[in-house]
Amino acid sequence: MSIRIKRAYDKPAADDGYRVLIDRLWPRGVSIADLKVDSWLKQIAPSDELRKWFGHDESKWDEFKRRYWAELKSHTEELQELVQRTEAGRVTLVYAARDTMHNNALALKEYLETQWGTLPSSP
């Protein structure tokens, strides 16, 4: 049981397991065939308002996570699906942001680990 995080612009790998796009918008310039995701859970992506407010401003990171986590509380069914997928094997959260240190995939992974139980990390 593990969760991996990967940019949409990185090549898919055989050991990615179940690949889930977790952005509200499809990554620019990436075809469906190249992205190779098993599902697209855009409903658990940050709202457009939150995404625009954050703008990947590092100084807003903690507040972004707080607000995003509040939004996630209304998506129990989708989150349960993700947790169940991790019990079956590796899940890779796919995101498009350039910022690899402050993005919704990291915030979502942390939320799942703290709110839904400890999930082992993957490199």
**pLDDT one digit per residue (tens) for the chain, 123 residues:** 489 999 999 999 999 999 999 999 999 999 999 999 999 999 999 999 999 999 999 999 999 999 999 999 999 999 988 988 988 899 999 999 999 999 999 999 999 988 876 444 444
In a domain, 22, yes or no: yes
In a domain, 36, yes or no: yes
In a domain, 86, yes or no: yes
Give the closest residue to 27 by CA, choosing from 13, 11, 9, 43: 9
In a domain, 120, yes or no: no
Q: Which domain holds residue 110?
A: 2-115
In a domain, 121, yes or no: no
In a domain, 123, yes or no: no
In a domain, 74, yes or no: yes
What is the value of pTM for the model shown?
0.90
Amino acid at 116: W
The number of folded domains in the chain is 1
